[in-house]
Amino acid sequence: MNFAISAVRILRGALACLLVGTFWVPAAEAHEGPEHEIEELTALIDAGRGDFETFIERAIEYRVLGRFPEAMRDLEHSIRLNPGSLHALRELARVQFIVGRTNAAIDTVSRALQVKIEEPVDRGGLLVQRAEMLRAQGQYRRALTDGDDALGFHSGNPEWYLLRSDLQRRLKMNRKRIAGLEEGLKQTGAGILAIERIEAQLDAGQYRAALKAIEPELESARLRGGWLVRRGRARLGLGDKAGGAEDLRTSVAGIEARLDRGRPDASLLLDQAMAWVLLGDRPAALRNYELARDKGGDPELAERIRELASP
């Protein structure tokens, strides 16, 4: 057994450094940016030596630069060269979805699901990808079927439970939603599932259970704004109008102190907007909603707030 290799490595490193120092000046030209990569891959392709992976690589670089038509063209070509490439199909679906070609994206994922897939988790991933697309089209039931099936293939991803929870919320399947989140929490331990379960309990009118879960979180939190909104909502639900309103006002003020109005964090805007909705200040909520929407805030939550705040 020779663990003295480190000494050899150091010696070799030193010698190599010496050689480099003697002969070489570091290059100052760009090496690896996407434009450079595209140039190199294009040269390869133009010389007739691009295989299906070369086209995927170039497509990814095009996607990074936001050049989606070129990315789709390369991915489609890659799939023609290798119709069984899960990588290419998944990437194509991703780009199609980004540019709003949702039907085509769904078709692409469906096609990918026909390919021989070694890993159950990969099949689950494709189903989740399709569920997200179906959700964007408002096809919540079909999306939920995919979401459920995905979790049958792999039960360890908290994001998949969140997706299913969102679909169940839209379909007003409160009990299943809470049970599903509990299952996810058991499987993954993810903190965001515990938070989502509280949201689900609030949505289901289970205010007492929610309050019980909120109190320790509020106690330990450094930033309390979001938790105060949740407790305010629970208290209002339990008929404690004064306590609930106090929580919400405290939350609004706390969030305001953290918000940089010139460059606001969209998620904070939406937390505050929810507090205003519950306080009955719909114009203030709508102002935040519009700002959050422009800043790329969670479109689902923003939409909920818009619905709640609209007269």
Partner 1 sequence: MLLGSLASRSPVVSFGIAFILLGEVCRAINPPEPFTRAPYLQFSSPHLMHVVWRTAGPIRPNVRFGKDLRQLDQQVRAMDIVVRAALGTHDQKLLARWAPLVTKANLALPKLHSAPLGTFQYEVRLKDLEPSTTYYYAVYDGDRRLTPEHASFQCVTHPPVGAVQPVRFWALGDGGTGREPQSAVHQAMLQTLEREQHPLDFWIHVGDMAYGIGRDMEFQSRFFESYDVTLRHKVCWPTMGNHEGHTSSGRTGIGPYYDAYVVPTRGESGGLASGTEAYYSFDYANIHFICLDSHDLDRRPGEPMARWLKADLEKARADWLIAFWHHPPYTKGSHDSDKERDLIEMRQHIMPIIEQGGVDIVLTGHSHTYERSMLMDGAYATNTVAENVILDDGDGNPSGDGAYRKSAGIHPHEGTVQVVTGNAGANLGRVGTLPVMREVVLEHGSVLIDVHGDTLVARMINREGVERDLFSVVKRGQVAPVRLALPWQPPTWVKPTNTVSIPAMPALDHRVLIPEGAAWRYVFDPIPRGMAWTYADYDDDGWHSGESGFGYGAGVYKTGLESMRGKHGILYVRKAFDIEQADRITEMGLWIDYDDGFIAYLNGREVARAGVGRSSGRNAQKVSARGEKEPGPRYVVLKDAHKHAKDGANVLAIEVQNASLESSDLRLNPVLILED
Binding mask 73-112 for partner 1 (x = CB under 8 A): ----------------------------------------
- Nearest Cα to Cα of residue 162 among 294, 187, 111: 187
- Measured from the CB of residue 143, what is the shortest distance to partner 1 in angstroms? 16
Q: Which of 265, 287, 290, 308 binds partner 1 (CB under 8 A)?
A: 265
Tell me how many residues contact partner 1 (CB under 8 A): 83
- Nearest Cα to Cα of residue 136 among 155, 159, 163: 163
| Element containing residue 155 per DSSP (H, E) | none
Binding mask 174-193 for partner 1 (x = CB under 8 A): ----------x---xxxxxx
Beta carbon nearer to partner 1, 137 or 205: 137
For position 216 contacting partner 1 by CB under 8 A, the verdict is: no
Beta carbon nearer to partner 1, 16 or 212: 16
**Is 290:270 a contact under the CB 8 Å cutoff?**
no
- Measured from the CB of residue 276, what is the shortest distance to partner 1 in angstroms? 18
- Nearest Cα to Cα of residue 204 among 231, 174, 225: 174
Beta carbon nearer to partner 1, 237 or 254: 254
SS (H, E, C) 201-227: HHHCCCHHHHHHHHHHHHHHCCCCHHH
**Is 181:196 a contact under the CB 8 Å cutoff?**
yes
- Measured from the CB of residue 242, what is the shortest distance to partner 1 in angstroms? 25
Q: Which of 93, 131, 162, 252 binds partner 1 (CB under 8 A)?
A: 162
**Is 89:79 a contact under the CB 8 Å cutoff?**
yes
**Choices 105-113, 233-241, 273-281, 295-303; region in contact with partner 1 by CB under 8 A:** 295-303
**Choices 155-163, 203-211, 228-236, 237-245; region in contact with partner 1 by CB under 8 A:** 155-163
Burial class (CB in 10 A: 0-12, 13-18, 19+), 8: exposed
Query: What residues numbered 36-65 form the site for partner 1, per CB under 8 A?
Result: 36, 47-49, 63-65
Residue 100 identity (one-letter amino acid): G
- Measured from the CB of residue 111, what is the shortest distance to partner 1 in angstroms? 19
**Is 198:211 a contact under the CB 8 Å cutoff?**
no
Binding mask 20-39 for partner 1 (x = CB under 8 A): x-xxxxxxxxxxxxx-x---
Give the contacts of 268 (CB within 8 A, at least 6 positions apart): 225, 255, 258, 259
For position 283 contacting partner 1 by CB under 8 A, the verdict is: no
Query: What residues numbered 219-248 form the site for partner 1, per CB under 8 A?
Result: 220-224, 226-227
Compute how many other C-beta atoms are within 10 angstroms of the C-beta atom of residue 35.
11
Beta carbon nearer to partner 1, 32 or 239: 32
For position 119 contacting partner 1 by CB under 8 A, the verdict is: yes
Place of tokens 């010496």: 18
Q: Which of 92, 259, 274, 285 binds partner 1 (CB under 8 A)?
A: 259
**Is 258:284 a contact under the CB 8 Å cutoff?**
no
